[in-house]
Amino acid sequence: MARAFNFSAGPATLPEPVLHQAQQELLEWGGERASVMELSHRGKAFEAMAAQAEVDLRELLQVPDNYRVLFLQGGATQHFAQVPMNLATPGQSADYVVTGAWSSKAVGEAQHFVQTHIAASSEADGFRSIPPRAQWQLREDAAYVHIASNETIHGVEFHETPDTGAVPLVADMSSNILSRPLDVSRYGLIYAGAQKNIGPAGLVIMIVRQDLLERTAGRVPRIFDYAAHAAENSMLNTPPTFAWYLAGLVFQWLKAQGGLAAIAQANDRKAATLYAAIDASGGFYRNEVDPAARSRMNVPFVLHDARLDALFLQESNAAGLLALKGHRVLGGMRASIYNAMPQEGVDALVAFMRDFAQRHG
């Protein structure tokens, strides 16, 4: 069986050269006569690899020196709960901007610990836009402002970093981190589950401004305390070693592609190709997200007749285009086109969509 183009929202497709390298090194890695999975995270070889992965990530994102990079576990969902524990005191208030399913879930977890204040929401328009910054009702005494920079389910993305003044901006970037250059200094804390745009599930990358680590003052259990993880270089307990290694390979692959400016260009082109095909289909396919807020990573679309959905999925799968079924919340289709999806994959999808529309239009 040949590898197909995999449009899964996550866990998602990984760069083929990275998988080949991992395969080649699976039994014997780095002269250690064992797999990287079988080695102590406290060993010299693993520590060197781990440090290099951080160096490469810092280089890619131009992370300023006053930020720590953490390699954590728990998925983004755990950090929906853990961010408030670390950045606020119990009962303090925090501002949330709600633009889709994930930022809504972030509120749901946070409200066990902080008073969540919805500073803006696009729920009224079905999460098809980003509320203009001028309409946000931010509070000066908020512990932080939380956004999801890309809504993986609703296909809505921030294309500008909102200004939150002196209140730290916190962003769940699970589904668009490393997809384009980023001014990290505009954020207090960035976190991302790895399984969309970085590597295998089980790893969370966090970039946090050093001074914010002082907010817990030892108040939370060490295992939940970002400051404790930072003090131990993300080795407070056993980290997800294989995921860390694979993320490191992905960072090197990104550098070899020409870094984030180059990958951003490729991502823009892929997204433009797919949206153009949807918009030119004469209503056979529709994406109803405000064009100014359309995601470059996750493209949800519906067919003009939902009775064709099953056939579309069956035929696309047979044509080597995997996992196009939309999230159950929205129905229809969704094509996730992260960094590792090549232009050829999008071209193949668009060709299939045209052909399908011709046969069923």
Ligand X SMILES: *Cc1c(COP(=O)(O)O)cnc(C)c1O
Half-sphere exposure of residue 247, counting CA atoms within 13 Å on the CB side?
A: 34
Half-sphere exposure of residue 6, counting CA atoms within 13 Å on the CB side?
A: 14
Give least dist CB 200 to ligand X, A.
11
Select the residue whose beta carbon is closest to ligand X and give its number: 75
| Catalytic residue from among 56, 95, 172, 225 | 172
| Catalytic residue from among 29, 56, 95, 102 | 102
Is 172 part of the annotated catalytic residue set? yes
Question: Which residues lie near ligand X (CB under 6 A)?
Answer: 10, 75-77, 102, 148, 152, 172, 174-175, 193, 196
Give least dist CB 25 to ligand X, A.
26
Is 102 part of the annotated catalytic residue set? yes
Give least dist CB 110 to ligand X, A.
13
Q: Any residues with CB less than 8 A from the CB of 9 and at least 6 apart, and which?
A: 152, 153, 175, 196, 298, 323, 327, 334, 336
Q: Closer to ligand X at the Cβ: 7 or 46?
A: 7
Other CB atoms closer than 10 Å to residue 268's CB: what's the count?
A: 13
Q: Closer to ligand X at the Cβ: 127 or 284?
A: 127
Distance, in Å, from the CA atom of 344 to the CA atom of 231, rounded to the nearest integer, reads: 44
Amino acid at 316: S
> Largest Cα–Cα distance in the chain?
64
Q: Closer to ligand X at the Cβ: 121 or 175?
A: 175
Q: Closer to ligand X at the Cβ: 57 or 203?
A: 203
| Catalytic residue from among 196, 225, 244, 325 | 196
| Eight-state DSSP code of residue 66 | T
Give least dist CB 133 to ligand X, A.
20
Cα–Cα nearest to 289, from 151, 98, 129: 129
Is 305 part of the annotated catalytic residue set? no
The residues assigned a catalytic role are 102, 172, 196
